[in-house]
């Protein structure tokens, strides 16, 4: 009898993690990668990180994956709650010239900008903060992500865990001494009842007060085909 994944890559046994069904990017955290299908962050897919408040270490968690992106591909930050701290990005050995900071004035503009980034395909990663979003908007973003090869992260409030989502991967984050406690709420595989501990480097827990403003904000996404301006301190 053939295994489900040999019949179709979208099939897997409920008792096993899905394998070979999606492109993935290593997380850089062995304990987390071991619990994720294909051993990493899925590319071309909506990933939800749920946090009690922004700045508990979600960017530090993603840092090893972001460092693996090609230097010519931008990292888009859409509607971050605080201005990116350029000194921190440099200390993480990430090129701040890769950053594309998009600060829309209205929620509708946030969704539009995120969708255009997904469709454009020039970025290597999109991290979008969505304090409030309708299910149909999430489905639209997930559909757009499936036609891309980028790392797409939606950071949402912890309370969103009560609502359904089209995201194949959903993690609830909580601060823990020296790192994060991560509860895998949804994955393509068996239920994970035990939270994981992911240790971050000393001083890694992000604090909003450490953020410093940049010279300018980008009110909207540059048109497709144009050179993306780099953000600089």
- What ranges do the domains of the chain cover? 40-157+201-210
Q: What would the pLDDT profile of 41-89 be if each residue is shown by its tens digit? A: 999 999 999 999 988 999 999 999 999 998 889 999 999 998 888 888 8
- Overall pTM surpassing 0.75 (yes/no): yes
Question: Cα separation of 24 and 149, whole Å?
Answer: 9
Integer CA distances (angstroms), 72 to 27, 51, 68, 141, in order: 20, 30, 12, 24
**DSSP secondary-structure letter at 221?**
P
- Section 6-16 average pLDDT: 48
Look up the CATH architecture of domain 40-157+201-210.
Answer: 3-Layer(aba) Sandwich (3.40)
Identify the residue with better confidence: 146 or 2: 146
Strand segments (E) across the chain:
24-25, 41-42, 45-51, 74-78, 99-102, 123-129, 151-157, 169-176, 179-186, 196-199
The pLDDT of residue 179 = 94
The pLDDT of residue 26 = 95
Q: What would the pLDDT profile of 178-216 be if each residue is shown by its tens digit? A: 999 999 999 988 888 899 999 986 544 443 333 333 333
How is residue 46 written in tokens? 């909506």
State whether residue 128 is helix, strand or coil.
Answer: strand
Integer CA distances (angstroms), 59 to 70, 109, 112, in order: 18, 23, 23
- Section 165-188 average pLDDT: 95
């Amino acid at each position: 009898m053939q295994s489900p994944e040999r019949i179709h890559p979208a099939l897997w046994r409920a008792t096993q993690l899905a394998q070979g069904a999606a492109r993935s990017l290593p997380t850089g955290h062995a304990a987390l990668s071991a619990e994720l299908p294909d051993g990493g962050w899925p590319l071309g897919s909506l990933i939800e990180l749920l946090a009690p408040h922004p700045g508990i270490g979600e960017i530090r968690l993603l840092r090893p994956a972001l460092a693996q992106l090609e230097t010519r591909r931008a990292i888009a930050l859409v509607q971050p709650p605080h201005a990116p701290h350029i000194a921190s990005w440099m200390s993480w050995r990430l090129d701040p010239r890769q950053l594309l900071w998009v600060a829309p004035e209205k929620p509708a503009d946030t969704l539009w900008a995120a969708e255009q980034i997904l469709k454009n395909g020039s970025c290597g990663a999109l991290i979008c903060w969505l304090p409030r979003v309708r299910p149909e908007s999430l489905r639209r973003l997930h559909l757009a992500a499936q036609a891309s090869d980028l790392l797409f992260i939606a950071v949402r409030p912890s309370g969103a865990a009560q609502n359904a989502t089209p995201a194949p991967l959903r993690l609830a984050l909580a601060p823990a001494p020296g790192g994060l406690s991560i509860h895998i709420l949804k994955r393509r595989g068996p239920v994970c009842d035990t939270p994981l501990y992911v240790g971050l480097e000393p001083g890694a827990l992000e604090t909003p007060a450490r953020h410093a403003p940049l010279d300018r904000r980008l009110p909207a996404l540059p048109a497709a085909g144009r050179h993306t301006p780099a953000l600089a301190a």
